[in-house]
Amino acid sequence: MAAAGVRRRCLLWAAVVAHVVVSGAGFVEDLDESFKENRKDDIWLVDFYAPWCGHCKKLEPVWNEVGIEMKNMGSPVKVGKMDATSFSSIASEFGVRGYPTIKLLKGDLAYNYRGPRTKDDIIEFANRVAGPLIRPLPSQHMFEHVQKRHRVLFVYVGGESPLKEKYIEVASELIVYTYFFSASEDVLPEYVTLPELPAVVVFKDGTYFVYDEYEDGDLSSWINRERFQGYLNVDGFTLYELGDTGKLVAIAVIDDKNSSVEHTRLKSIIQEVARDYRDHFHRDFQFGHMDGNDYINSLLMDDLTIPTIVVLNTSNQQYFLPDRHIENTEDMVQFINNILDGTAEAQGGDGLLQRIKRIIYDAKSTVVSVFKSSPLLGCFLFGLPLGVISIMCYGICTADTDGGVDEHEAAKKENGDRELTDEGSEEEQEEEKNGKYTELSDGELKQKDIMEKKKD
């Protein structure tokens, strides 16, 4: 009875899950060629997919959840999906190059989503891009509320100005990454002191920093650099995003589950440098830690033992390792200064040899991963082609060898026949010899007769 009850509950739960998936699919519209003409009146969040793509299939249930959530929120954003292989001309117009590709289409603009493929992250992206480009903060209460929700907060302070026009222009480009706000000076916290107005301020890491055109350069580059906290929990996706900043990334590679002194000490050193030496290094360095060394090993094509510290140059794939043990903050600061002045040895890079090494490493990693996950499949995928190639090579080599022997024997026989033709048989040679002897004997007899006649 108990087993039957458990079985019924499992079946009921499966039915509920299936109902949710099916109903979620109802909030996601299947788009066709008519979408090109009808889309401009609405804001669309579209998944361009291929039926055979494994990543697309993995995204499908998440996408259905996005459709349900956006509908329940009353969002003006419509959620759809399009088979990019069936409607390739439309997909090409929107710049689809791979699958799946997620885009938010707003009027004539198309915004690419490059974040994690989770429901919450996708919805946050859609709400951010679909809303106003610059969101006003009319009161201190609203400012405090927004600041609690955002770890990094960009605010334009002041009235109309060329700086505001530039701020709006940058926002239209970088809205896919972060929010942009505006406020009057009296809305800001009392501890904020601005040297002049108008100004662009970023609030993060428990403090604030004011944009200075002469020291920080282009506003777009400054916002792109400052949209990250000073210290991060780094993963593969974060490294990919940090590549746009042009910064070097100093990472403590540790095991988060390991509470030993060495692991916590290296993490603390990086945190202290990020906090206490921000004014010295924040324009050139991003700081953080990474849990585990699997990703970093594959990136560097090396085998780093943890805990350790590595500095990555994401623009050219170079990396730096300390030449001695990092004992304290001063050692880390010295290591960073050595990198800046060029005395630290750079490894890796994107040269020809490194590219060849990358190809070999990736091929080796693929083969190893296939054999580890499914040995039989690995034997079939790699053993069968090798076997066929071996048989073909053997056949070619064997055919060449036999042909060479046959040609040699034929040539030998032909030469022998030619010798027999030129020299004749032994009997013919003997007859020729006798003929010559007979011919000479008759001549001598004739000469003897002539001499006798003369004597007479």
Which residue, 240, 114, 229, 118, is CA-closest to 176? 114
Which residue, 19, 38, 118, 37, is CA-closest to 78? 38
Please confirm, yes or no, whether 53 is among the known catalytic residues: yes
Residue in 10, 53, 379, 397 annotated catalytic: 53
DSSP 166-205: HHHHHHHHHTTT--EEEE-GGGS-TT---SSSSEEEEEET
Sheet holding 101-106, edge to edge: 29-30, 77-83, 43-49, 101-106, 109-112
- Specify the residue for token string 């079939």: 380
DSSP 65-126: HHHHHHHHTT-SEEEEEEETTTSHHHHHHTT--SSSEEEEEETTEEEE--S---HHHHHHHH
Structure tokens, 372? 């580890």
Structure tokens, 156? 């334009």
CB neighbour burial string for 353-386, b if at least 16 within 10 angstroms, e if fewer: ebeeeeeeeeeeeeeeebeeeeeeebeeeeeeee
Question: Rounded to the nearest 5°, which phi and psi values hold at 34?
Answer: -70, -15
Q: How far apart are CA 348 and CA 317, in angstroms?
A: 6
Q: Measure the CA dihedral 145/226/96/78, to 10°.
A: 10
Q: How far apart are CA 367 and CA 364, in angstroms?
A: 5
Angle between helices 219-226 and 162-174 (to 10 degrees): 50
- Specify the residue for token string 């083969």: 367
| Other Cβ atoms closer than 10 A to 290 | 23
Q: 250 in helix, strand or coil? A: strand
Residue in 10, 56, 379, 397 annotated catalytic: 56
- Pairing of the two strands 248-254 and 308-313: antiparallel
Q: Supply the residues annotated as catalytic.
A: 53, 56
